[in-house]
Chains A and B, each alone.
Chain A
C-alpha cells in the first residue's frame, strides 16, 4: 500500500543473541535513516484539532 520496503523489519533474536541484536539495530536504523523521515502517517499541524 505504499510503505517503502525497508521501513518495516522483522527479526528473530533470542535473548542470548546480543551481538545479533546490535547488528540488526544498526542495520535497521541505517536503512530507515537512508529512507528519510516518514511523513505519510503524520497529520498536518493545521489539521490537528
Chain B
C-alpha cells in the first residue's frame, strides 16, 4: 500500500497543474501515530504532503458534500461507494469530481494495537504485510492481517467502484467471507437478551456525536438530535435519549451505509457502532439484494417501490 503514494502524488500534481481540479482531497500524516488526517491540497507544490498507508480509514466522501469546486478525491473502495451514494442523492455533481481510485487492502484498527501494549505507542511503520510498532523501550513486528479494522477484514469491495484515475492495479477481492456472523448471533437472541445486549453496547456513550460527524451519510443541515422545534430527542445522558439517538441514526443509514467503519473508528469510547448498521445492511442484502453505492444508476430500495418487494410484515 505504501508504494501507492508516488503515483497518488503524481496524479494529484498533474490534475492540479492542468487545472482540472481546484483541490485534491487526500491524507496527510497525523500528529499522532495511526491517525492520518484529511488534507486539502490546493496547489501542486503541496502534493508532497499527501501520504498513503494503512491508517487512512477516514471516509473522504464526507468532505465532498455540497462542494461547488472541482475536486480530485482519493477514494478507497468504501469511499467510492459513498461517492456513488452522494451522486444518487444529489450531494455532488459527477462533472466536478475526478476520482483517484485506490485499491485497498484494509485499514489498521489502532485500538487493537494500543490494547496490545501497556506503554504508549509512539511510532507505527509498515512494510508490506508487516507492521512495526515502537514505543518507549519496546519494538514489535506484527502481521497486518491480524490488525485490520473489523469492517475491513470482512470487506468485499476493496476496489473502487467508480474512478477516473487509478493509483495502483486492482487488488483481488476477498471471497467466501462471512460478513454477518455477528448479526446472526444477535438475531438469535430473545427480545430481552437483545435489549440487554444493546444496553450494554451503548452504556459508555457520551453523546459526542463523533460517529455522526465522521459519517458521509450524515449531512442534514440540522440533525434530528440538534433540532429543538420540535425536539425529537432529549439532550440528556438518560439511557432513553442515548438509545433513541443510536437507533434513529442507524435507521437513517438504512440502505445507504457502505460499512466504511468511519463511525466506529471515530468513537472515542470504542462503541461498536457498526452493530446497528450491519443488521440493516444484511437486511437490505437479504430482502432487496442491495448493497449501497455499488450501482451508480439504480435507485436505493428505500426510495423506490417494486412489485416484488417483501411485504410479509404487513398484515
With the chains together, A49 CA to B196 CA distance in Å?
25
Q: Can you name the residue of chain B whose Cβ is closest to the Cβ of A3? A: B191
Instruction: Produce 1/0 per residue, A10-27, CB < 8 A to B.
Output: 111000000000001000
Q: Within 8 Å CB of B194, what residues of A?
A: 1-2
- What distance in Å separates the Cβ of B252 from its nearest Cβ neighbour in chain A? 15
Q: Mark B260-294, 1 if CB is under 8 A from A, else 0.
A: 00000000000000001000000000000000000
Residue of A nearest to B250 (CB): A1
State A7–B192 Cα separation when bound (angstroms): 13
Can you name 6 A-B residue pairings with CB atoms under 8 Å? A3-B191, A10-B313, A24-B315, A41-B243, A41-B244, A48-B238
Size class of the A contact interface (CB-based, 8 Å):
10 to 19
Chain A interface, DSSP helix/strand/loop, else mixed: loop
> Given A9-B315, A11-B315, do A43 and B238 touch, yes or no (CB 8 Å)?
yes
> Contact at B315–A10, with CB atoms within 8 Å?
yes
- If the complex has contacts A1-B247, A12-B314, are A42 and B191 also in contact, measured as CB distance less than 8 A? no
Residue of A nearest to B314 (CB): A10
Please tell me if B163 contacts chain A, counting CB pairs below 8 Å. Answer: no
- The answer to whether A42 touches B315, judged by C-beta atoms less than 8 angstroms apart, is no
Q: Is B197 an interface residue (CB 8 A)?
A: yes
Cβ of B195 under 8 Å from chain A: yes
Quick check: A1 and B195 within 8 Å, CB to CB?
yes
**CB–CB A2/B197 < 8 A:** yes
Return the chain B residue nearest A12 by Cβ.
B314
A11 touching B314 in the complex, CB below 8 Å, given contacts A2-B198, A41-B243, A47-B236? yes
A36 CB within 8 Å of chain B: no
The residues of B that contact A24 with a CB separation of less than 8 Å are 315
B240 & A41 in contact (Cβ 8 Å cutoff):
yes
Assembly CA distance A10 to B314 (angstroms) = 5
Point out the residues of chain B lying under 8 angstroms from A41, CB to CB: 240, 243-244
Residue in B closest to A35 when the chains form the complex, CB atoms: B191
Shortest beta-carbon distance from B302 to chain A in Å: 15
Measured CB to CB, the nearest residue on chain B to A23 is B315
Measured in the bound complex, the distance between the Cα atoms of B314 and A1 in whole Å is: 19
Is A5 interfacial (CB 8 A cutoff)?
yes
* Most B CB within 10 A of own CB, among A1, A40, A42, A44: A1
The complex places the Cα of A24 from the Cα of B243 at a distance, in Å, of: 30
Contact: B240 with A2, CB < 8 Å?
no
CB distance from A38 to the nearest CB of B (A): 11
Across-interface contacts of B195 in A (CB, < 8 A) = 1-3, 40
Residues of chain A within 8 A (CB-CB) of B247 are 1
Partner of B198, one of A1, A4, A5, A12: A1
Contact at B197–A43, with CB atoms within 8 Å? no
Closest A residue to B275 by CB, please name it.
Answer: A1
- The chain B residue with its CB closest to the CB of A6 is B191
A43 neighbours in B (Cβ, 8 Å): 234, 238, 240-241
B281 to chain A, nearest CB (A): 15
Distance in Å from the Cβ of B155 to the closest Cβ of chain A?
A: 25
Chain B positions within 8 Å of A2 at CB level:
191-198
